[in-house]
Each structure stands twice: as structure tokens, then as C-alpha cells.
Structure 1
Amino acid sequence: MTADPMSRRTRRGTSMMDVAAHARVSQKTVSRVVNGEPHVREEVRERVLRSIQELDFRPNAAARSLVTRRTRRIGVVALGTTLHGPTSALAALESVARADRYSLSVMRTESTDRDEIQRAVDTLLDDGAEGIVLSEPMHLEGAPLRIREDVAVLTLGARGLTARPDELVVGADEAAGGRLAAEHLLDLGHRTVHHIAGPEAWISSQLRREGWRSVLSEHDAEIPEVVHGDWSPGSGFEAMTRLLALPITPTAVFVSNDQMAIGALSALQHAGLSSPADVSIVGFDDIDVAEFLPTPLTTLRQEFAVAAHQGMNQLIAAIDGAEPRRTQDLVPLSFVHRSTTAPPRPATSR
């Protein structure tokens, strides 16, 4: 006994052949309509579109790519981390891609080894990625990454990772953030500003430190030795404990991210001190909790989502053949003045 075509279609989903039979046209004509090709009479096109709607036909993306030679896939190489910045950027990338009907293929790397990242890029290209996003916030040792010239490239950050003149680079103006933090504290009357930096290999840590250092140099202020953390609250606690052991207690500290700043505030409390009465502190990122600490944190707000949206929109435009407005686009930061900064007390000797 032969199965009813409608029940067969219900079980396996509507095919292009079903649409062709329903519209009384060839399968090739349905393919032309689905892929927006010319040379189809308007009356035939409308009949096929009605059949597609009535049968709830949803073209298979993989099959359609064989005709259009478009995969509508973007590859993302990201450092395997749950830190606030990279995670926020990835969420924004996914939002833009979904809105423009692109899919994301994400490969996470465990280190900043250049060869590992190059292998991740090559894998994504072999899988048909039409664009590559490099969300690797660390400095890469060795030669720049190699990516074919027919593939659009976006680096999320302040410095590119390829030698391509058309590489799109979109990120926060990290150096300007370091400058704003140092200028704010000097303007309050602090003689100098100590710095708890992030890991040396991170480009963001380098740029924030450069901005901080340049302001101290311009004001002929002492440039203290930098203390490094690993972005975690625990490392901020340890770094602030080291600073409090100096012969002269610091009166102002610029901390390279909010998580370490939270650890630094805890170290002050542990030592019987407070902010801003004893030490003024400026963080960086403006994470959700910063506003709701017992003493709300003064910080620099990074617009992770804005940078990722701008970069992704430019990347998709480049994939579609548009010329970029500019290849580098640094998104300004916002200074958020809360309660952890104030004019200094006189420095105390130990």
C-alpha cells in the first residue's frame, strides 16, 4: 500500500521536490526562486512562493550553499576564558550574527601559542568560514597570523594580529582609560598613583599601563614599580597587601580591572584601612557588581557590546563586498565616578 504524500511529507519534512510538485514546476525552478536568481517569470515565482508558504518549506542552509557558494558562517577564535570582557564580547558577536542570519563557529584556544591559534584559524577556514574574528587579547610571539585575502578579518582589541592592511580592528581605547584613571587621581591632589596591572602578556594590560605611565611622566610625578595580578580578586588582594607593606603607604592606586580592585578593597579592610579615607582606588571595566559594593567602585566603563557590535557589522559588510569606513575603530570609555576616590590624607611613614 502506497503512503499518502502528505503523511510522508509530515514525517520527513517538506522537500524541494514536494514544493515543485505542488507548484507544478521543475525542482530547478524552485531552486532558482529560493536562491533569488533571475530568469523566472513573475507569475511562476509567485506560485512557487505560495507553495513554499503553504507547505512550510524551510530550505536547508547546507544545500543552498552549494548553489550560492555562500556558507554564511563566521569563525571565531577566542581564548578559553570566562573573564567578563571576552565573554561579553562573544555574546554580542552572537547577537549580531543571528540578526544577520549568519552562524558562528567558535574555537577556543588554551594558550596564546601562535601555532595553536593558526591551526584554529585554518580549521575554521577549512569548514567554510567566510570571515574570521580574532578575540585573542594577548600578544602573540612570532610572525603575524596568516589568513587568505579573500576572507574578511576582524580583531577585537586595540592592535591587529595579522599583517593584512584591510584587517578590521575594533576595541576599547585602553590607553585612554589608563590616562583617565591617573589624571583623575592626580587632579584630586595625590602626588603619584600606584598601579596593579594585569598579566604582562595581555595587550589590554600593556595599554592601560602605558596610559597610566604617560600621565605620570607628563606631570613629573614619581612612577612607582608596577605590581602584577592575574585579573582575579585573590591576586588583587595579594598585590594590595604588597603595596601596603611599602615604607610609604600609597594614597592612590589604579587597578587594571574591577575584579582585582575588589580584592584590593578587601585587603584594605583586612589591614584596618578603608577607601577612600586611606587609599583611593580606580578600577576598570564597570562590571555589574561594581556599583553595589559597600563602597561603590570608581571605575572605567568598557563598552564591550558596542565594540563587538560595531566590529561584527563591519565584518559582515566586508564579507558582502563593502569597503570599510576605516580599518581601526577605538571605542571611547566612560569614567564612572563613585565613592572610592577622594583627596589624600598626608602620607604616613612607617
Structure 2
Amino acid sequence: MTAEGTPQAGARRSPRRPSMADVAALAGVSNQTVSRVANNRSNVEEETRQRVLSAMRVLGYRPNTAARALVTGQFRTLGLISFGLGAFGNARTVEAVTRAAQRAGYTVNMVAVETQTERAVHEAFGRLTMQAVDGIVLIEAQILDTPALRLPPGVPVVVAGGDTGRHHAMVDTDQELGARLVTRHLLDLGHETVWHVCGPDDSYAARRRAESWHATLKEAGAAVPPVLYGDWSAAGGHEAGRHLARQPGVTAVFAGNDQTAIGVLRALAQAGRRVPEDVSVAGFDGLDEAAFLSPPLTTVRQDFDMVAERIVSLLIDRIRTGSTPDSAVLVPPRLVVRESTGTPPL
């Protein structure tokens, strides 16, 4: 710097940040059109939208989110609170919700909560609201069963995989339908009854699947064996499978999820029980790897992407309209039959 305060010769200036006008000029549109695309408005032709997005990428343009929030009243950011990321279903839901939000023009800030207590939930809400989120998704929050719990007001909420009796919008796979499909499949193959290795008893999904399994057996006039409890893991399934392998009358097993089924398959193989010749085994979730097990696993495939689309759509609608409907959306799963299930031994 010279004595007069002017830059010395050769000093580099910071490059100017590309503006909305720069994008408009490159794309051959108005500033207003660029603004509509940046705010993900629907009143822009798709060809024009793609031309504007291409110009943004070429120039490295990034919308000013703070300024946009002052105009629209929205930060286009969703909060996500997850309980138990170790469970396959929860992890897939987080992944799918993040992708669905991005497609809708929203970013996602996530908080993982280890213990489901009222204090932990309120702290998670506090952290997210400090980040100026427009709405929040809670994934399988059993804490909502607590009658005294009141979620902080002012932020729209949608629950993924929760209790339909609570006063929050909820989206989930139709767990009862999935369990009925797989239980009915095993009965239709000729098995006298179906044993069940349930997920943890504090899980909504596990409880709904077990209740539907029980009801389906009762409706069919079949005996209802005692439930074995697992923890969604292959290790838990292996422990339950060792018990089942010692029961000569066991010919069909519905595992609470695919990881549990993997453990059951291993325990049966170690005991010399063939699948499906001696025992049929089916799972739930639709792991991609299930098709490559030996034998390939019959399973109930959850459509996590559809669940996430419904969650994000419902939450954005609540953000835009301010409405708070107590609605429940159930997405039907699909039974995928493979070589791990067959007719019972003679």
C-alpha cells in the first residue's frame, strides 16, 4: 500500500462474485427469471430453467440465501432429527429424505440423537431452529408416545415412521401390510404356522410387524408361536436362529428385518437345517444384498424413495400453507419372493 492508501502496482484484486445480472446475461433471460429459478418457482419453462441452471454452473453463481429469506420468508432448509442411525431403515430414510429435499431445492441439516428423552428432543429442536430451518423431519421418534411431550411450536413437523395416533403428520411404509404379505405367503406354501423373530420392542416398525404377523396367523386359524426378540442385527438373528434350529417343528421363519434373517440363515446352516428344504426364511426391508445371499432371500421391499418424497412434499406444503393437518400417509411395500422360501418338508 502506498502512502496515499492506493494499491501498489501488481497487487491482485479479489475476483468479483458473479451476480444475478451476470447469469441473466449469459442465459439470455431477465433478472426476474433467474430469481424464479433460484427460488425453485414453478412458473418457468423447463428449457429456460435448464439454461439458467447451466449459466449458474458456468459462472459459479450461488444465490444469496440470507437475502432470499428476507424476500420469501423461507431459508429453504429442512431440519432432520434421527434416532438410531445404526438401523438400516432409519439410515436409508435419512439418505432418501436428503435426496428428495435436494430435488425440491432444499438443503438438509441433521441432528442425530442418541437417547430419546424430552430434554434431548428439545435440545435437537433448539440446535436446528438456531440454524434457521423452515421445517423438521423426525425419524422413528418413539419419544412422541410420551403424553406430556410437547414439541416446540412455530416449526412445521412431519414424522417418518411414527405413531399415527399422535397429533403430527406422519409418513411410513405400511408395516402391517408388509408383515401380512410375508406371513400369508408362508402359510400359502403349506406351512402350519410361522415363527417370528421380532425387532426391538421399543420400535414402532417392529411392533406393527409383530402385531400384523400375530393377527394374520389368528385369522388363518394357525397356532401362534412365542415371539423371539432381536435387535435388528445379524448377531441378534443368529442367537434367535440357534434357538429355532433346535426346534424340530419349526418349518417357517419371518425375520423382523433382512439383517436378522442373515443371522437366522447362518444359525440354521450351522445346525444342518437346510433352507428352504427344511426351514423357509423370509426377511423385511429389501436389502440389495439379499438377492445375493445363499439362498437368495425372500423379503418385503420398502420403497424408501417414495416414503421420502411423500415426507418432503407434505412438509413443504405445511411450510408454504401454514396448515397443520393430523394426517397419516402409508406407502405400500412389495413382497419379493426368492429361493429362501418353499413348501414344508414332508
* TM value normalised by structure 2: 0.81
Alignment partner, residue 315 of structure 1: 315
Moved more, 95-104 or 281-290: 95-104
1:113 to 101, 112, 117: 117
Partner AA of 2:88 in structure 1: H
The Cα shift of 1:83 comes to: 2.8
Maintained 8 Å contact 2:234/2:264: yes
Partner AA of 1:222 in structure 2: A
Alignment partner, residue 254 of structure 2: 254
Count residues in correspondence: 316
The Cα shift of 1:84 comes to: 2.1
3-state SS of the aligned residue for 1:250? coil
Alignment partner, residue 243 of structure 1: 244
Partner AA of 2:64 in structure 1: N
Measured at CA, do residues 57 and 306 of structure 1 come closer, stay the same or move farther in structure 2, by a change above 3 Å?
closer
Measured at CA, do residues 250 and 297 of structure 1 come closer, stay the same or move farther in structure 2, by a change above 3 Å?
same
- Counterparts of 1:59-208 in structure 2 under 5 Å? 59-136=63-140, 138=142, 140=144, 142-143=146-147, 145-148=149-152, 150-160=154-164, 163-164=166-167, 167-208=168-209
Maintained 8 Å contact 2:169/2:325: no
The Cα shift of 1:34 comes to: 5.7
The Cα shift of 1:339 comes to: 0.6
How far apart, in 1, do the equivalents of 2:60 and 2:305 lie? Answer: 35
3-state SS of the aligned residue for 2:120? helix
How far apart, in 2, do the equivalents of 1:293 and 1:330 lie? Answer: 29
Maintained 8 Å contact 1:77/1:136: no
Q: Deviations over 1:26-85 (max 9, x none)?
A: xxxx99x9699xxxxxxxxxxxx9xx9898764421243244432222110002423321
3-state SS of the aligned residue for 2:311? helix
Alignment partner, residue 26 of structure 1: none
Maintained 8 Å contact 2:145/2:163: no
3-state SS of the aligned residue for 1:70? coil
Q: Deviations over 1:241-276 (max 9, x none)?
A: 112223x43011110101110110111110011111
Percent identity of the aligned residues? 36
Alpha-carbon RMSD across the aligned residues, in angstroms, is 3.3
- Counterparts of 1:289-328 in structure 2 under 5 Å? 289-321=289-321, 327-328=327-328
| Structure 1 gaps, min length 5 | 24-29, 37-48
Measured at CA, do residues 144 and 307 of structure 1 come closer, stay the same or move farther in structure 2, by a change above 3 Å?
farther
Partner AA of 2:158 in structure 1: L
How far apart, in 2, do the equivalents of 1:225 and 1:199 lie? Answer: 15
How far apart, in 1, do the equivalents of 2:129 and 2:180 lie? Answer: 39
Alignment partner, residue 211 of structure 2: 210
How far apart, in 2, do the equivalents of 1:333 and 1:34 lie? Answer: 40
* TM value normalised by structure 1: 0.80
Maintained 8 Å contact 1:112/1:136: no
Partner AA of 2:104 in structure 1: D
Measured at CA, do residues 311 and 3 of structure 1 come closer, stay the same or move farther in structure 2, by a change above 3 Å?
farther
Measured at CA, do residues 287 and 109 of structure 1 come closer, stay the same or move farther in structure 2, by a change above 3 Å?
same
The Cα shift of 1:229 comes to: 0.7
Maintained 8 Å contact 1:118/1:146: no
How far apart, in 1, do the equivalents of 2:59 and 2:295 lie? Answer: 61
Alignment partner, residue 39 of structure 1: none
- Counterparts of 1:221-236 in structure 2 under 5 Å? 221-236=222-237
How far apart, in 2, do the equivalents of 1:335 and 1:102 lie? Answer: 33
Maintained 8 Å contact 2:193/2:223: yes
Alignment partner, residue 274 of structure 1: 274
Partner AA of 1:271 in structure 2: A
Q: Deviations over 1:179-238 (max 9, x none)?
A: 111111111111111100010001100000011000111122111110011111111111
- Counterparts of 1:326-341 in structure 2 under 5 Å? 327-341=327-341
3-state SS of the aligned residue for 2:249? coil
Moved more, 324-333 or 224-233: 324-333
How far apart, in 1, do the equivalents of 2:59 and 2:242 lie? Answer: 69
How far apart, in 2, do the equivalents of 1:146 and 1:320 lie? Answer: 23
Alignment partner, residue 45 of structure 2: none
How far apart, in 2, do the equivalents of 1:121 and 1:76 lie? Answer: 9
Partner AA of 1:302 in structure 2: Q
The Cα shift of 1:99 comes to: 2.1
3-state SS of the aligned residue for 2:159? strand
